Amino acid sequence: MEILASGQLLFSALVLGATYALIALGLNLVYGTMRLLNVAHGDLVMLGAYVAYWLFTFMTVSPLLSMFLAMVIAAGLGALAYVGIFRRQLAERATAGRLEANSLLLFFGLSVIMQNVASLVF
Residue 99 sits in which domain range? 36-121
Render each residue's pLDDT in the chain as its tens digit; 122 residues. 688 888 899 999 999 999 899 889 988 888 888 777 788 888 888 888 898 999 999 988 898 899 899 989 888 888 888 888 878 777 776 556 677 777 788 888 988 998 999 899 88
Q: Is residue 51 part of a domain?
A: yes
pLDDT attached to residue 34: 75
The phi, psi pair for 98, rounded to 5°, reads -110, 40
Which residue blocks in the chain are alpha helix, DSSP H? 2-34, 41-58, 63-81, 87-91, 99-121
In a domain, 93, yes or no: yes
Q: What is the 3-state secondary structure (H, E, C) of 29-61?
A: HHHHHHCCCCCCHHHHHHHHHHHHHHHHHHCCC
Which residues make Cβ contacts (< 8 Å) with residue 78, sequence separation at least 6?
A: 44
Q: How far is CA 114 from CA 12, 26, 46, 99, in A?
A: 28, 18, 9, 22
Instruction: Tell me whether residue 1 is in a domain.
Output: no
Decide if 28 is inside a domain: no
- What pLDDT is stored for residue 36 in this prediction? 75
Query: Which amino acid belongs to residue 77?
Result: L
Task: Give a yes or no: residue 96 inside a domain.
Answer: yes
Q: Structure pTM?
A: 0.70
Domain count, the chain: 1
Residue 23 lies in a domain: no
Residue 20 lies in a domain: no
Residue 93 has a pLDDT of 65
Q: Could you give the 3-state DSSP secondary structure of residue 62?
A: coil
Residue 90 lies in a domain: yes
